[in-house]
């Protein structure tokens, strides 16, 4: 091996690559969407929810594997007009609280690394917009070792008026 | 109430009624949210009251100091 060659051991077998696993429009008047039978063949999952709006002010939340036990932890920072921060131990990940119904074009992005691992707890990080130019940034832990194969994104009240979702597997 | 279910393996998309468990969970979520909002409002009111009390105490202390100086 020459002096300026990269040792092969440091180079992954493949680099990068996003595969679309699901995409669609959120049905109007639906309380959310439920992505099932997610492949475990990737390093990470990236979920985009774009241009959504709600029928009433509500929290948006994510559950994995239809689990609603109190084994989710999260922390958040809300910035914009004023700032606040907090932590939660809950039966869901709260992605943003009290998203205003009058605001259209809200977006959220959730990243779940190592989701298919079956020996460690799972974690996620996310950003979600809110009204009044606010941004909610959070991270969370799901204190369960099962591989994630299902993601359920819902509101706590009312329904969606619009929105789209895209789920990618990342290698 | 409905939810959109998307099977990532078959790409089948259906809109189905919430199950009884999902409806019950949604009601729990709503109650928890209302309780959290009430707690946040209560905490904010307590913080404002504490600030006002601190201001009042400071004014009272300043007045007492002025009166004491005048008497001496």
Which residue is closest to A31 within chain B, CA to CA?
B3
pTM beyond 0.90? no
Dist CA A162 CA A30 (whole Å): 9
Distance between alpha carbon A70 and the CA centroid of its chain, in Å? Answer: 18
Residue ranges in chain A whose pLDDT is less than 70: 1-15
Of B7, B15, B33, the CB nearest to A36: B7
Per the CB < 8 A criterion, the answer to whether B8 and A21 are in contact is yes
Which residue ranges form the domains of chain A, and what is each CATH number? Answer: 26-170 (2.60.120)
Dist CA A29 CA A34 (whole Å): 14
Residue by residue, pLDDT tens for chain B (72 residues) are 999 999 999 999 999 999 999 999 999 999 988 998 898 889 889 999 999 999 999 999 999 999 999 988
Which chain B residues are within 8 Å of A68, Cβ to Cβ? 25
What are the domain boundaries of chain B? 2-71
Residues 6+ apart with CB under 8 A from A28: A159, A160, A161, A162
Per the CB < 8 A criterion, the answer to whether A60 and A155 are in contact is yes
User: How many CA atoms lie less than 13 Å away from A92 in the CB half-sphere?
Assistant: 24
Length of chain B, please? Answer: 72
Q: In the prediction, which pLDDT does A15 show?
A: 60
Which residue in A20, A22, A57, A69 has the most chain B C-beta atoms within 10 A of its own C-beta, making it the best mutation to test that interface? A22
Q: In the prediction, which pLDDT does A2 show?
A: 46
């Amino acid at each position: 091996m020459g002096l300026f060659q990269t040792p092969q051991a440091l180079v992954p077998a493949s680099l990068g690559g996003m595969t679309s696993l699901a995409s669609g429009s959120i049905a109007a008047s639906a309380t959310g969407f439920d992505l099932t039978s997610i492949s475990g063949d990737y390093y990470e999952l990236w979920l985009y929810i774009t241009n959504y709006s709600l029928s009433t002010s509500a929290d948006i939340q994510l559950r994995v594997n239809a689990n609603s036990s109190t084994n989710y932890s999260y922390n958040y920072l809300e910035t914009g007009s004023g700032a606040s921060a907090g932590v939660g131990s809950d039966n869901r990940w709260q992605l943003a609280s009290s998203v205003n119904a009058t605001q259209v074009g809200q977006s959220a992005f959730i990243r779940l690394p190592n989701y298919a691992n079956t020996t460690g707890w799972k974690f996620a990080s996310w950003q979600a917009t809110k009204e009044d130019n606010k941004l909610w940034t959070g991270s969370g832990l799901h204190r369960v070792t099962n591989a994630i194969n299902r993601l359920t994104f819902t509101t706590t009240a009312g329904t969606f008026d619009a929105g789209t979702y895209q789920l990618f597997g990342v290698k | 109430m409905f939810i959109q279910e998307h099977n990532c393996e078959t790409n089948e998309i259906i809109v189905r009624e919430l199950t009884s468990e999902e409806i019950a969970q949604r009601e729990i979520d709503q109650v928890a949210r209302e309780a959290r909002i009430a707690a946040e409002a209560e905490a904010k009111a307590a913080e404002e009251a504490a600030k006002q009390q601190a201001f009042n105490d400071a004014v009272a202390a300043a007045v007492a100091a002025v009166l004491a100086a005048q008497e001496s």
